[in-house]
Amino acid sequence: MNQKINVGIVEDQLLFREGIKAILTNWDIFDVIFESADGFSVIEKLAQAPRLPDILLVDLSLPPLGKTEYSGLHLTVALADKFPEIKILILSVHNDENFMAELIKNGAHGYLVKDCDPQEVYQAIVSVVEKGTYINSRVLKAIQDRMSKKLKPGKQLMTGISAREEDVLKLTCQQFTAEEIAEKLFISVKTVNGHRNNLLLKTGSRNVAGLVLFAIKNHIVEL
Amino acid sequence: MNQKINVGIVEDQLLFREGIKAILTNWDIFDVIFESADGFSVIEKLAQAPRLPDILLVDLSLPPLGKTEYSGLHLTVALADKFPEIKILILSVHNDENFMAELIKNGAHGYLVKDCDPQEVYQAIVSVVEKGTYINSRVLKAIQDRMSKKLKPGKQLMTGISAREEDVLKLTCQQFTAEEIAEKLFISVKTVNGHRNNLLLKTGSRNVAGLVLFAIKNHIVEL
DNA sequence: ATATAAATAGGTATAAATATCTGTTTGTAA
DNA sequence: TTACAAACAGATATTTATACCTATTTATAT
């Protein structure tokens, strides 16, 4: 590796972003040439940037703008479309297995939990830039598990939740009753309850408490 | 300031801890001489440490050990008791106003949201060590608001939740029904519902979804 | 074109949560 | 020691959520 690696960081928490930057200066092969505190402006900023980063470290739980969600997953999808040459390394606080697989499927090149040590950050960036991916054993296992589950015929376990179900889930987390949700979505209360039942099945929850927990863990709603 | 400031860091996320350390090296007046990834061992480690830190940066949302909670607040109380000479600067992801006031009341000397810039970390540490406290305008306003609320007679708004209510809240977040909670706590279902109603009142929630959100925001349960 | 799987929409019956209540106990300030 | 506030325990009626169903539409793969 003779050339420096151009790194970009997309992370809303300023202190964490600065921390990553400070850590990366430990190795002089990294140049942090791009930064963003939100996902919305990244595509636009990249289009105007004099130099494109080789790799973007993207926080999974990016904040919404007003009512519009824009998580690391949204950004991943957009980047894979507009800037496929830029590698994407996801940073996340959780180690939610399903989410790992979802991200890799949608164009991310690697996944790091924020609990890892600096050495692993180094390895991950170098591995993604040189080999194209960085999959540690935990992520690999998660993907394999998910694959094997998909193969089983069974009922309808572990499927991603649908758009309509996500609507219901979000409103449920906002403390609306089924009746209120029905009004907002212009559907019958019975239908809302149907969606809720599917959500309980898919998320393995017993009641709304479980749904709220799931929604937070999976970045469907923010705190 | 002729002497270096001895800093300790209590933070479970290794990467964030390393990031803070790396940021602090920007100023040569800081020496990071103490680190811990959990709150439990801090008192013990400090007792054996050759040099005590002047100030401890403490993450508010420290992880529990098994079923035992030990947040930054617990640690703050313990430190104020055992090592009152060590200043405590709380680091938190949220800027929950009530929580700020609670921490300051219980012995913390300052409060920083993790969203601040490195310069503010510098200011906060220096201010705490030299002047004894670091209260930024947002925290100050939160405390004043809380004070003024306490003065009003009113009904029973904004009171801290009781031990029994916290029990019920935690179990509710774990998706147990009122009946199951009653069994676990050896009380009547009606009583559990009574506690739940008080929780709804105190937290300003409409249903369990709101309770779960409140519990997470206030570090009563962890994800 | 057609079989398959899953999303969507809906119905009915039961279980659970929530809104209002009444007491007793406990700690605390006047 | 008395008055007060709040935790704690409990009861009843009503609303809401959940379990268990069926039928239609939509997308996908064969």
Q: What is the pLDDT of residues B176-210, one digit of tens each?
A: 988 888 888 888 888 888 888 888 888 888 899 99
CA torsion sign for B107, B113, B114, B119 is: negative
CB contact under 8 A, B118 and A15: yes
C-beta separation of A199 from A169 below 8 A = yes
- The superfamily (CATH) of domain A5-148 is Response regulator (3.40.50.2300)
C-beta separation of A176 from A195 below 8 A = no
CB contact under 8 A, A116 and B14: yes
Residue at the smallest CA–C1' distance to nucleotide D9:
B191
What are the chain B neighbours of A22 within 8 Å (beta carbons)? 19, 22-23, 25-26
Please report, for residues A58, B30, B80, B127, B157, the alpha-carbon distance to residue B56 in angstroms, rounded to integers and kept in the order given: 30, 12, 12, 13, 34
CA torsion sign for A208, A212, A215, A221 is: positive
Bridge pairing between strands B87-92 and A55-59:
unpaired
> What was the pLDDT predicted at B173?
92
Which of A23, A212, A217 lies closest to B209 in CB terms?
A212
CB pairs under 8 A between A and B: 105
The B 203-222 residues near strand C by Cβ under 7 Å are 206-208, 211
Residue with tokens 């200066």: A25
* B5-148 and B163-217 in the same fold: no
The CATH number corresponding to A163-217 among 1.10.10.10, 3.30.413.10, 3.90.870.10, 1.20.150.20 equals: 1.10.10.10
Measure the CA–CA gap between B142 and B148, rounded to whole angstroms: 10
Burial of B72 (0-12, 13-18, 19+ CB in 10 A): buried
Segments making up each domain of chain A, as ranges:
5-148, 163-217
CB contact under 8 A, A20 and B20: no
Ranges under pLDDT 50 in chain B: 147-159
CA-based nearest distance A13→chain B, Å: 5
pLDDT digit string (tens) for chain A, length 223 residues: 568 999 999 999 999 999 999 999 999 999 999 999 998 899 999 999 999 999 999 998 887 766 566 778 788 888 888 899 999 999 988 766 666 767 777 788 988 888 889 999 999 999 999 998 888 776 666 665 554 443 333 223 334 677 788 888 888 999 998 888 888 888 888 888 888 888 888 888 889 999 899 888 877 887 7
> What was the pLDDT predicted at B158?
36
DSSP string, chain B: --SPEEEEEE-S-HHHHHHHHHHHTTSTTEEEEEEESSSTTHHHHHHH-SS--SEEEEESSPPPBTTB---HHHHHHHHHHH-TTSEEEEEESS--HHHHHHHHHTT--EEEETTS-HHHHHHHHHHHHHHS-B--HHHHHHHHHHHHHHH--SSSTTPPPPHHHHHHHHHHHTT--HHHHHHHHTS-HHHHHHHHHHHHHHHT-SSHHHHHHHHHHTTSS--
